[in-house]
Amino acid sequence: MIFDSHAHYDDEQFDEDRDILLSGMEEAGIGGIINMGASLEGVAASQALAEQYPFVYAAAGVHPDHTGSLNEENMQWMYGLCRKPKTVAVGEIGLDYYWDKESRDCQKKWFITQLDMAKETGLPVNIHSRDAAQETFEIMKKEHAGTTGGVIHCFSSSAQMALEYVKLGYYIGIGGVVTFKNARVMKEVAAAVPLDHIVIETDCPYLAPAPNRGKRNSSLYLPLVIREIAEIKGVTPKEVEDATYANVKRVYPKIQ
Task: List interacting residues with Zn ion (CB under 5 A).
Answer: 203
Cβ neighbors of 144 (< 8 A, separation 6 or more) are 115, 118, 119, 125, 150
Q: In whole angstroms, how close is the CB of 91 to Zn ion at the nearest point?
A: 8
Q: In whole angstroms, how close is the CB of 207 to Zn ion at the nearest point?
A: 9
Cβ neighbors of 121 (< 8 A, separation 6 or more) are 79, 82, 83, 90
Q: In whole angstroms, how close is the CB of 36 to Zn ion at the nearest point?
A: 5
The nearer residue to Zn ion, 108 or 128, going by C-beta atoms, is 128
The nearer residue to Zn ion, 203 or 228, going by C-beta atoms, is 203
The nearer residue to Zn ion, 174 or 230, going by C-beta atoms, is 174
Q: In whole angstroms, how close is the CB of 92 to Zn ion at the nearest point?
A: 5
Distance from chain centroid for Cα 235: 24
**3-class DSSP state of 41:** helix
The nearer residue to Zn ion, 32 or 230, going by C-beta atoms, is 32
Omega before residue 211 within 30° of 0, cis = yes
**Helix, strand, coil share of the chain (percent; to 5):** 50, 15, 35
Separation of alpha carbons 158 and 145, rounded Å: 20
The nearer residue to Zn ion, 173 or 232, going by C-beta atoms, is 173
Q: In whole angstroms, how close is the CB of 177 to Zn ion at the nearest point?
A: 13
The nearer residue to Zn ion, 4 or 203, going by C-beta atoms, is 203
The H or E element spanning position 123 is: none
Rg (CA), the chain: 17
Q: In what order do the strands lie in the sheet with 198-200?
A: 2-7, 30-35, 56-59, 87-96, 125-130, 150-152, 171-174, 198-200
Position of minimal CB gap to Zn ion: 203
Q: In whole angstroms, how close is the CB of 204 to Zn ion at the nearest point?
A: 9
